[in-house]
Chains A and B, each alone.
Chain A
């Protein structure tokens, strides 16, 4: 299905896509058909900078198990690192 379900958040940081490194400004997360992953549906994550055009994009297409594992891994490494070390207010 085309779920249309989309979560959009602002992000601060950088990503590397087909056009090289760029400053990411927003991220969208959705469940829909992947372009490349060999599944009918995946969790898709795009980090974008709309001001730089559509090619300013880092894309992920993950199974739900691996997407959740990624989220947990992010939580684990942040919990293990000194508090605030990677904060936007460091």
Chain B
């Protein structure tokens, strides 16, 4: 199944890549079938199978590897890239994955590969590259925490570098989105308010609206005031049992986007708390995660398709 190329370069045989639909955000500012109360469009909208190369042959071979990209301040940082090998007519949309606070770990790399399987050019920058190059993910996370965390400005610069890298690939259709989990959820919104993107997904990011607890050594501040600069539709996926962010906080978030006329869709899952997508943690909630993945792929399909 897997052909080993090198320590950092592998080819996987994965499921068939799926095309992304070329459906435009309607003039109403809301996706088809959606409403502002958190309900969503009724059915997936993926386009037909992408195996429509000019020569009529399409494989599902995937390449996933560690690369170096240029991040904030011109610094070279590590990143994990996954993409299907075969090109498609019209190119592929790009997805930047922002890892959670525990780091650039195996579970996050699996998410990157999932997006590649679904037909995207997917890239996760290692936000801890500077403090802990080459370190184990958990050691890197501890080192960065001890050093004070990732500044917002640097996060934006690193995501900008990741987007630029993906858009420059021959197989890119020029459209790029961002998704982040946990602390990365807040950072996904931050990136979408700071960079020209086509779609953004916030998975249970806290401290967008509310102040973080007193005495934090990390530079985490509310960023709701950036909402007027939101450059793209935003999908928010949250757990009803989560306190950071709480349903009250995400309701305020949605209300502000509504007031500003910013296209968005928030969904809060009953019976789920924080990190319900994390398959390697007790917080995993299969029903919420499976439905969440469906919504994410539908959302990116609408906005990142060729």
Partner-B contacts on A (CB < 8 A): 1-6, 8, 18, 26, 28, 30, 32-33, 35, 38-40, 46, 48, 50, 53-55, 57, 59
The 9 lowest CB-CB distance pairs between A and B, nearest first, are A1-B244, A54-B135, A54-B139, A2-B101, A54-B132, A54-B143, A2-B183, A35-B138, A46-B142
Given contacts A4-B149, A28-B142, A50-B143, contact A33 B102 (CB under 8 A): yes
Q: Taking the complex as formed, is B242 at the interface, i.e. its CB lies under 8 A from any CB of chain A?
A: yes
Q: Residue on B with the closest CB to A40?
A: B283
A40 and B282 form a contact (CB under 8 A)? yes
Q: Taking the complex as formed, is B302 at the interface, i.e. its CB lies under 8 A from any CB of chain A?
A: no
A6 and B138 form a contact (CB under 8 A)? no
Closest Cβ of chain B to A51, distance in Å, is 11
B273 and A28 form a contact (CB under 8 A)? no
Closest Cβ of chain A to B283, distance in Å, is 5
B216 and A26 form a contact (CB under 8 A)? no
Distance of A83 Cα from B158 Cα, bound (Å)? 52
B146 and A4 form a contact (CB under 8 A)? no
B contacts with A: majority SS: loop
Can you list 29 pairs linking A and B with CB atoms under 8 Å apart? A1-B206, A1-B242, A2-B101, A2-B206, A2-B244, A3-B244, A4-B149, A4-B212, A4-B216, A4-B218, A4-B220, A6-B216, A28-B145, A30-B145, A33-B102, A33-B182, A35-B102, A35-B137, A35-B138, A40-B281, A46-B146, A48-B146, A50-B146, A54-B132, A54-B135, A54-B139, A54-B140, A54-B142, A57-B143
Q: Taking the complex as formed, is B74 at the interface, i.e. its CB lies under 8 A from any CB of chain A?
A: no
Q: Taking the complex as formed, is B175 at the interface, i.e. its CB lies under 8 A from any CB of chain A?
A: no
Q: Taking the complex as formed, is B255 at the interface, i.e. its CB lies under 8 A from any CB of chain A?
A: no
Q: Taking the complex as formed, is B217 at the interface, i.e. its CB lies under 8 A from any CB of chain A?
A: yes
Cβ of A48: which chain B residues have Cβ within 8 Å of it?
A: 142-143, 146
B126-155: which have CB < 8 Å to A? 131-132, 135-140, 142-143, 145-147, 149
A40 and B273 form a contact (CB under 8 A)? yes
Closest Cβ of chain B to A40, distance in Å, is 5
Q: List 18 other contacts, CB 8 Å, given A6-B218, A18-B139.
A: A1-B243, A4-B101, A4-B149, A4-B183, A6-B216, A8-B217, A28-B145, A30-B145, A32-B101, A33-B102, A33-B281, A35-B102, A48-B142, A50-B146, A54-B140, A54-B142, A55-B135, A59-B138
Q: Residue on A with the closest CB to B218?
A: A4
Partner-A contacts on B (CB < 8 A): 100-102, 105, 131-132, 135-140, 142-143, 145-147, 149, 182-183, 206-207, 212-213, 215-218, 220, 242-244, 273-275, 281-283
Cβ of B102: which chain A residues have Cβ within 8 Å of it?
A: 32-33, 35
Closest Cβ of chain B to A9, distance in Å, is 11
Given contacts A54-B139, A55-B139, A57-B139, contact A2 B100 (CB under 8 A): yes
Distance of A18 Cα from B139 Cα, bound (Å)? 10
Distance of A30 Cα from B145 Cα, bound (Å)? 10
Closest Cβ of chain B to A46, distance in Å, is 5
Distance of A35 Cα from B242 Cα, bound (Å)? 19
B145 and A54 form a contact (CB under 8 A)? no
B182 and A2 form a contact (CB under 8 A)? yes
Cβ of A26: which chain B residues have Cβ within 8 Å of it?
A: 146
Task: Give the most central of A2, A5, A39: most B CB within 10 Å.
Answer: A2
Closest Cβ of chain A to B281, distance in Å, is 7
Q: Residue on A with the closest CB to B212?
A: A4
Cβ of A8: which chain B residues have Cβ within 8 Å of it?
A: 146, 217
